[in-house]
Amino acid sequence: MTSPTEPPRTLGILAGGGPLPAQVARAGMAAGRRVFLIGLEGFANPDLLAPFPHEMARLAAAGSILAALRREGVQDLVLVGPVRRPSMFDLRPDAEGVRLMGRVGRAAFGGDDGLLAAVVRVLGEEGFRVIGAHEVLTQAVGPRGLLTRTAPDAQAQSDIERGVAVAQALGRVDVGQGCVVQMGIVLAAEAIEGTDAMLARSKALARPGPGGVLVKLVKPGQDRRADLPTIGPGTVAACAAAGLRGIAFEAGGTLLTDRDAMVAAADAAGVFLVGIDPKV
């Protein structure tokens, strides 16, 4: 922890897609930190990174990424924003990337959480303190309780409970963080395709009757410094388009990319948003 007499630690951000990398950068600057971003080509939006000191780099160009972070004096490092996991055959790692992949080891061929935990470990060994986006974006962490005018009824609550059990089972085997449940039936489970694709797939599988719910949870045992569940206004729109009645997310472990816009969109669509404690 920085003492009152020490300058704020320089914050580096490995930026994937979506708005969160820029939000983390703004929050860091507001706290008096110097920030520097590495935008991962093919994932990060250069327009969103443009207001901040940054460079773009290939995902597997570990040599240039580490050199840039060290040149800029980065001390703390955040991994944030979705990155679609590429095929190992498409990575084309540079020499440093090959060396680091060797240290990641078998985790490179396992689930996403195992891989990210290994990456976090290796970055720590390289001298960076890896911290979670939620430690910088404290206001974006989803709270417990109902956020919307619409609330889950008894059927939706039952679907949430079923979804919690399913999502936890998926997480234990490092597959995904969410699922869609309608009247007790699991319409779709999240895997490598991501939440939006899962929601689109669930629309064609919906049964007649009350719409289902999306449940998003942190994987049991997940390292919370990487890949926390993230939802935003786009998630609300995708749920409404799929005919779902609401979203239940893990309170204290889910990032809301734009809470006010999410709640407004959910209220307009009659979709509920509720933060839950899956242990209760």
Task: Return the CATH number at 193.
Answer: 3.40.140.80
Q: What is the pLDDT of residue 259?
A: 94
Q: Quick check: is 268 in a domain?
A: yes
**DSSP bridge pairs for 37:** 13, 54
pLDDT digits (tens), the chain, 280 positions: 555 567 789 999 999 999 999 999 999 999 999 999 999 988 899 999 999 999 999 887 888 889 999 999 999 999 998 887 665 555 676 777 677 777 666 655 555 656 667 778 888 888 999 999 999 999 999 999 999 999 999 999 999 999 999 999 999 988 889 999 999 999 999 988 889 999 999 999 999 999 999 999 999 988 888 889 999 999 999 999 999 999 999 999 999 999 999 999 999 999 999 999 998 7
Helix, strand, coil % over all residues of the chain, rounded to 5: 40, 20, 40
Overall pTM > 0.75: yes
Q: Quick check: is 19 in a domain?
A: yes
Q: What is the pLDDT of residue 211?
A: 96
CB of 235 closer than 8 Å to CB of 271: no
The CA distance from 36 to 171, in Å, is: 32
Could you list the residue range(s) of the whole structural domain that residue 222 is in?
141-276
Sorted by sequence, the CB contacts under 8 Å of residue 197 that are 6+ apart come out as: none
Sorted by sequence, the CB contacts under 8 Å of residue 83 that are 6+ apart come out as: 16, 17, 40, 43, 59
| 3-state class (DSSP) for residue 225 | coil
Burial class (CB in 10 A: 0-12, 13-18, 19+), 46: exposed
Of residues 237, 268, 277, 278, the one with CA closest to residue 148: 268
Residue after which a domain boundary falls, among 103, 119, 136: 136
The CA distance from 178 to 198, in Å, is: 9
- 31, 150: one domain: no
- 127, 234: one domain: no
Q: Quick check: is 129 in a domain?
A: yes
The CA distance from 81 to 224, in Å, is: 14
Q: Quick check: is 160 in a domain?
A: yes
- 21, 65: one domain: yes
What's the domain count of the chain? Answer: 2
Domain CATH for 67: 3.40.50.20
- 265, 153: one domain: yes
- 233, 260: one domain: yes
**DSSP bridge pairs for 247:** 214, 273
Q: What are the tokens at 41? A: 């080509």
The CA distance from 98 to 95, in Å, is: 5
Q: Quick check: is 46 in a domain?
A: yes
Q: What is the pLDDT of residue 124?
A: 86
